[in-house]
Structure 1
C-alpha cells in the first residue's frame, strides 16, 4: 500500500506587524480606533460596577481585556458594515455604534463632549441592558440580545453560533442589493465547535457571501480551555476545511486587528467570498461574574497577570504616544469624553449612591405590555382582497390539482416581488424539487431559487437573517420532522425575534413543511408539525386543505410580516379542486371554512380529515357541522365560528390525523371547555392518533394515526350520549 498526503490549497496565515504598518496608521485612524476601544472599555466597566451592585438583572458577560480586536476590526471597515454577535457583545456593539455615528467632521481631541447622538445611543443601549422601556428593544433584549439596525447591529444572540448563520442571511441581502457592505459575524472560540458554525461557514463559502467571520479566541469556553474542547487546537483548520482563507493575529494589539480587517475586505473584494479572522485575546473576568477566572480555579493568577500586561488600552495609548501618532494628553482627553458619556448614561437610569442605588422606578416597562409585539398587527393587509370560493361563478373556475397550484401561486408573487427567494434542499433540481412544488420556478427565476446543502439549522438561520434584512424567503423543509434539526433557528430565533427586539423589526418568512401521510416514511419523516409550532406564538400557522385555500393562504403568508408555517399534506397534493384563473386573492388568518352544515354535532378538522369527516358523517346519516380551521396558531384560531357552531349543536369533536403527543387538540379542548362550557351537552371528544409515532410497517402506521374507524366510533359515542340524555 502506498499513501500520499493530500494538501489543502486554502491558505491559513499568521499576521505579524511591521514598522511600516505603524507609520501608515494616520492620526485620524488612531483617534477613531482609540475612541471605539475606550468606549467599549468604559462602558464595560460601568456594566461591571452596576452588576456588582445588583442592578443588572440576569447575566452580564464582560469582555474587558478583549475589546481591542473588535475595535481595531470595525475601525478599519466602513461605518455601514453590519454585525452579528453572541452573548458577549457589549464591546462589539459599542464600537459598532460609535463608528456608525462618527460624523465626517468630528474630532474627539477638539470636542468638549461626544456628539449628542453618540451620548443618546449609549444611554439607550444601557437602558436595554438594564431591562428598561427606553432601551433599544424596550428592555426585552437585555445584555445578550441587542439589535439596532440604524447603526448596523443586526442582532446579538445568546445561542453562540446562531449569529454566524443569521449573518449569512444579512450578507446575502447585501450581496443581492450590491450595497458593497460587509457583514462581520463575531463569535468566540467555543462557538467554533458547534454544528451551526460549520453550517454557516459552508453556506458562506458556497454562496460567496461578503462576510468576515471574526473569532475572538479568548482561550476559554466558560471554564474549559481549547485543549479540553478539541483534539485539533489549530482553530483556523475549521475555515480551511470549508475553503475559506483565514488569518490569525494577536488581538491584544488593535492595529493588528485593523490590518487584518483591511486584508479581509480586500480579499473579499477580489475573490467574492468570506474570510475568517482569529484574534487571540483574553477576558479578564469569569464568564458572567465580576471576578477573575482564577477565583473559580480554572485559571492561574500568573496566567491572568501575564495577559493583563498586554492590555490593549494601555498598549495602544503607549504606542501612539511613543510613535508620535497621538500624544498621551490627547488620548486622555478622548478618554474623558467617553467616561462622561457613560457616566451620564448611568445617571439617566440609576438614582441613589452606593448600596442604596436603584433603577429609577418610572423607567421600568409596563407589565401590561408583556405580550405586546409577539406578532404584528397585520396592518400590511390593508387593501388586500379577501375572497372565498363561493364568491366566484362556476364559469370562472377550473379544476386544478393542488400540486399544480403550489408553484403557480408562488410564481405569480415572485414575478411581482423581487425580494422573494425560495430555498431548500433540491428545490432547484429534478424539474421542481422532490414532489414538483417548485416546478417551473427555476426557469423563470434562476437566481432566486436556491439549492441548499443538508444543513437545516444553517439555512433556516440564514433565512432568518434574510428576512431581518428585508427579503422574503420561502424555506422548504423536505419533511416536517427535519424541523428538529433546525429548532434553534425556527423556535428559538425566528419565533421570538419580533417580540425579543421590541416589535421594531418584522420577520417576513414562509416555512413550507410537508407531511407524507400514510406512505411508509416512518417515524422520522411523518409528523404533523402544527402542535409543536403552536407552542411558539411568534409563528402563524396555516393548513390549506384545498387548491383554492392553498393559493389564498400562501398569498396571505407572503404578504404577512410575521413568520408563517404552511403545512402541506402530501396526500392532498394530487386532489383537484376549483380555482380562478388568477391567483391574486387572499384568505385571512383566523377564518375557518365551513365544510358541511349540520345541527347534531360539530366537527373541527384540518387537512385530510376535512374530507374524511364529511364523507363519514354523510355515510352514517349524521347531521354534522364541519369546520376546517385553516389557521392553527393559538391566538389566531377562529373561536367565533367554533362557538357559533357549538351553540347550535351542543356537541363537539376535534378530528385530527396527528398522533396524540404532537396533537393540538388538547389546547383546543381546554379552550372550548372554558369558552363553551354552558353550551356543551357532553365533554369535548377527540379523534386523534395513538401515542406512538408512525412506523414503516403498514399496519402499525395505520394504527398510529386516526382514520375512518376512529371518526365512526366517536360519532357513535356522541350520538349515543345525546340519545341517552334525551331519553332521561
Structure 2
C-alpha cells in the first residue's frame, strides 16, 4: 500500500505587515480609518454606559477591543460596499454608516465635527439599539438586528451564522444585475462550526460570488474557547476546503486589516469568486456585559491584560505619529468630532444623569403599531383584475394538467420580469427537474434556472438575500418536509424580516413545496407544511386544488411582496382542467371559492380533499356548500365567505388530508367558533388523518391520511345529529 499526498492549490496564508507597507497609507486614508475606529469605540463606550444604567432593554453585545478589525476592513473598501453581520455588530454598522457618508470633500480635521448626516445616523443607530421609534427600523431590531439599506447595511442577525446564506443572496443579486458592489459578511469564530457557514461558503464558491467572508476570531463563543469547540483549531482550513483563498491577519492592527481587505478586493475583482479574512481580535468584555470574561472564570486576568496591551487604537496612534502620517492635532480633532457626535446622540435619548438617567418617554414607539408591517399592504396589486373560470369564454381556455400548467405560468412571467430566478435541486437537469416543473424553461432562461446542491438552508437563505436585494426568487423544495432543514432561513428569517426591520425590507420569495399524498414516500417526505407556516404571520400560504387556481395563485404569488408558500399536491399533477391560454389571470390571495352550493352543511376543504368533498356530497345526496379555502395563512383566511355559508347551514366540517398534528384545522375551527358561535347548530368538526405520519406501507399510509371514508363518516354523523337523513346512493 502506498499513500501519496493530495495537493490543495487553494491558498491559505498569513498576512504580516512590513515597514514599507505604511508608505501605501495616505493621510486622507488614515483620517478615514481613524474616524471609523474612534466613532465605533466611543459609541460602544456609550452603549456600555447605557447598559450599566439599565437603559438597554435586552442584550448589548459590546465589541470594544474588536473595532480595529471592522474599521480597517470597511475603510479600505468602496463606500458602496454592502455588509451584513451577526449579533455583535455595533462597530461594523457605525463604521459602515460613516464610511458610506464619507465623501472626498469631507475632512474631520478641518471641521472638527462629523457631517450632519453622519451625526444623524449615529443618533438614529443609538435610538435603534434602545428600541425607540426614531431608530433605523423603528426600534424593532434593537442591538442585534440593525439595518440601514441605503447605507449598505443590509441587516445583522441574532442567529449565529444566520446572515451568511443571506449574504450569498445579496452577492448573487449584485452579480445577476452585473453590478460592481462587493458584499462583506461579518461573523465570529463560533459561527465557523455552523452548517449554515459551510453551505454559504460552498454556494459562494460554486456561483463565484463577490463576497468577502470576514471572520472576527475573538477566540470565545460566549465562554467556549476554540479549543473546546473544535479539534482542528486552524480555522482557515474551512474556506480552503471550499476552494476559497484566505488570509489570517492581526485584527488588533487596523492597518494590517486594511491591507487584508485590499487583498480580498483584488482577489474578488481579478479572479472572481469569494475571499476569506480571519482577523484575530479580542473582546475586552464578556458576551453581553460591562464586566470582563475573567469574572466568569473562563478567561484569566493575565490573558486579558496581555490582549489589552495590544489595544488597536493606541497601536494605530503610535504608528501614525511615529511615521508622521498624521500629527497629534489631527488625531485630537478627529477624537473631538467623534466624541461630540456620540455625546449628541446620547443626549438626544436620555433625560437626567447618573442613576437618575431615563429614556425620554416621548421617544417610545406607539404600542398601537405592534402588528404593523407583518406583511405587505398589498398595494402591489393595485390595478390588477382578478378572475375566476366563469370570466373566460370557452375559446380562451385549453385543457392542461396541473404539472403542465406549472412551467407554463412561470415562463409567461419570466418573459415579463427578468428578476425571476428559479433555485432548487435538479431544476436545470433532466429536461425540467424531477417532476417537470421547469420543463421548457432552459431553452430560453438557462442562466435564470439555477441548480443548487443539497443544501436547503443555504439556498433558501441565498434566495432570501436575493429577494431582499430586488430579485424575485422561486425556490423549489423537492418535498415539503425539507423545509425543516431550512427552518431558520424560511421561518426565522424570510418570514420575520419585514416586521423585524419595521417595514424597510421585503422578501418577495415564492417557495414551492410538493406534498405526495398516497404516493408511498414515507413519513419524512409527506408532510403538509401549512400548519407550521401558518404559525409565522409573515408568510402567505396558497393551496391550489386545480390547474386554473394554480396559475392564478402563482401569478399573485409572483406579484406579492411577501414570501408566499405554494403547496403542490402530487396526487393532482396529472389531473387536467381548463386554463386560459395566456396563463395571465390572477386569483386574489385571501379569497376562497364556493365550488358547490347547498343548505345543509358547510365543508371547508383544502387541496386534494376539495374534489373528495364534492364527490361525497353527491354520493350521499347531501346539500352541501363545498368551499375551497385556497389561502391558508391565518390572517388571510376568507372568513367572509366561510361566515356567509355557516350562517346559512349552521354546521361546518374542516376537511384535510393531512395528519391530525400537522392540521391547520384547529386554528380555523377556533376562529369560526369565536366569530360565528351563535349561528352554529353543533360543534365544528375536523376531518383529518390519524396522529401518525404516513409510512411507506400502502395499508398504513392509507390509514394515516384522511380519505373518502373519513369524510363520509363525518358528514353522516353530523347529519344524523341534526336529524337529517343521507341517501347513500
- Give the structure-2-normalised TM-score: 0.99
User: 1:322 Cα shift?
Assistant: 0.7
Q: Deviations over 1:197-219 (max 9, x none)?
A: 00000000000000100000001
Q: For 1:159, what is the secondary structure of its paired residue?
A: coil
Deviates more, 1:609-618 or 1:395-404: 395-404
Q: 2: CA distance between counterparts of 1:334 and 1:68?
A: 16
Q: What corresponds to 2:694 in structure 1? A: 694
User: 1:724 Cα shift?
Assistant: 7.4
Q: 2: CA distance between counterparts of 1:547 and 1:621?
A: 27
Q: What corresponds to 1:321 in structure 2? A: 321
Q: 1: CA distance between counterparts of 2:138 and 2:6?
A: 54
User: 1:104 Cα shift?
Assistant: 1.8
User: 1:79 Cα shift?
Assistant: 0.2
Q: For 2:604, what is the secondary structure of its paired residue?
A: strand
Q: Indicate yes or no: 2:374 matched with 1:374.
A: yes
Q: Write the mapping of 1:244-263 to structure 2, written as runs, cut at 5 A.
A: 244-263=244-263
Q: 1: CA distance between counterparts of 2:332 and 2:315?
A: 14
Q: What runs of 5+ residues in structure 1 fail to find an aligned partner?
A: none
**Residues 724 and 624 of structure 1: is their aligned pair in 2 closer, same or farther, counting only changes over 3 Å?**
closer
Q: For 2:330, what is the secondary structure of its paired residue?
A: helix
Q: 1: CA distance between counterparts of 2:112 and 2:78?
A: 25
Q: Indicate yes or no: 2:333 matched with 1:341.
A: no
Q: 2: CA distance between counterparts of 1:716 and 1:653?
A: 11
Q: What corresponds to 1:703 in structure 2? A: 703
Q: For 2:485, what is the secondary structure of its paired residue?
A: helix
CA contact (8 A) 2:86 2:160 kept: yes
Q: What corresponds to 1:531 in structure 2? A: 531
Q: What corresponds to 1:721 in structure 2? A: 721
**Residues 597 and 209 of structure 1: is their aligned pair in 2 closer, same or farther, counting only changes over 3 Å?**
same
Q: Indicate yes or no: 2:458 matched with 1:453.
A: no
CA contact (8 A) 2:112 2:334 kept: no
Q: For 1:257, what is the secondary structure of its paired residue?
A: helix
Q: 1: CA distance between counterparts of 2:177 and 2:579?
A: 36
User: 1:270 Cα shift?
Assistant: 1.3
Q: What corresponds to 1:551 in structure 2? A: 551
Q: What corresponds to 2:198 in structure 1? A: 198
Q: What corresponds to 1:444 in structure 2? A: 444
User: 1:300 Cα shift?
Assistant: 0.4
Q: Deviations over 1:565-622 (max 9, x none)?
A: 0000001111000111111111001111111011110000011000011001101111
Q: What corresponds to 1:158 in structure 2? A: 158
Q: What corresponds to 2:242 in structure 1? A: 242
Q: What corresponds to 1:487 in structure 2? A: 487
Q: Deviations over 1:624-662 (max 9, x none)?
A: 100000000000000000000011110100000010101
CA contact (8 A) 2:112 2:336 kept: no
Q: 1: CA distance between counterparts of 2:363 and 2:710?
A: 56
User: 1:261 Cα shift?
Assistant: 0.6
Cα root mean square deviation, aligned: 1.0
Q: Deviations over 1:294-314 (max 9, x none)?
A: 000000000000000000011
CA contact (8 A) 1:351 1:360 kept: yes
Q: What corresponds to 1:595 in structure 2? A: 595
Number of positions where the alignment pairs a residue of Structure 1 with one of Structure 2: 726
Q: For 2:476, what is the secondary structure of its paired residue?
A: strand
Q: What corresponds to 2:23 in structure 1? A: 23
Q: What corresponds to 2:413 in structure 1? A: 413
User: 1:722 Cα shift?
Assistant: 0.9
User: 1:395 Cα shift?
Assistant: 2.6
Q: What corresponds to 1:76 in structure 2? A: 76
CA contact (8 A) 1:479 1:515 kept: yes
Q: Write the mapping of 1:599-614 to structure 2, written as runs, cut at 5 A.
A: 599-614=599-614
User: 1:179 Cα shift?
Assistant: 1.8
Q: What corresponds to 2:168 in structure 1? A: 168
Q: What corresponds to 1:616 in structure 2? A: 616
CA contact (8 A) 1:318 1:328 kept: no
CA contact (8 A) 1:544 1:607 kept: yes
CA contact (8 A) 2:112 2:333 kept: no
Q: Indicate yes or no: 2:33 matched with 1:42.
A: no
User: 1:396 Cα shift?
Assistant: 2.1
Q: What runs of 5+ residues in structure 2 fail to find an aligned partner?
A: none
CA contact (8 A) 2:425 2:454 kept: yes
Q: Indicate yes or no: 2:331 matched with 1:331.
A: yes
Ranges of 4+ aligned residues in structure 1 off by more than 6 Å: none
Q: 2: CA distance between counterparts of 1:10 and 1:674?
A: 63
Q: What corresponds to 2:387 in structure 1? A: 387
Q: For 1:154, what is the secondary structure of its paired residue?
A: strand
User: 1:393 Cα shift?
Assistant: 1.7
User: 1:318 Cα shift?
Assistant: 1.2
Q: For 2:108, what is the secondary structure of its paired residue?
A: coil
Q: Deviations over 1:293-341 (max 9, x none)?
A: 0000000000000000000011111110011000122112101110110
User: 1:9 Cα shift?
Assistant: 1.3
CA contact (8 A) 1:145 1:156 kept: yes
Q: 2: CA distance between counterparts of 1:579 and 1:493?
A: 35
User: 1:112 Cα shift?
Assistant: 3.4
Q: 1: CA distance between counterparts of 2:153 and 2:235?
A: 26
User: 1:697 Cα shift?
Assistant: 0.8
Q: Deviations over 1:476-518 (max 9, x none)?
A: 0000000010000000000000000001111111000100111
Q: Write the mapping of 1:511-526 to structure 2, written as runs, cut at 5 A.
A: 511-526=511-526
Q: Deviations over 1:385-404 (max 9, x none)?
A: 21100111223211111101
- Give the structure-1-normalised TM-score: 0.99
**Residues 422 and 724 of structure 1: is their aligned pair in 2 closer, same or farther, counting only changes over 3 Å?**
closer
Q: For 2:723, what is the secondary structure of its paired residue?
A: helix
Q: Write the mapping of 1:636-647 to structure 2, written as runs, cut at 5 A.
A: 636-647=636-647
Q: For 1:110, what is the secondary structure of its paired residue?
A: helix
Q: Deviations over 1:533-555 (max 9, x none)?
A: 00000000000111110110000
CA contact (8 A) 2:210 2:272 kept: yes
Q: Indicate yes or no: 2:115 matched with 1:115.
A: yes
Q: 2: CA distance between counterparts of 1:303 and 1:399?
A: 74
Q: Deviations over 1:120-164 (max 9, x none)?
A: 000110011000000011000000000010100001000111111
Deviates more, 1:89-98 or 1:104-113: 104-113
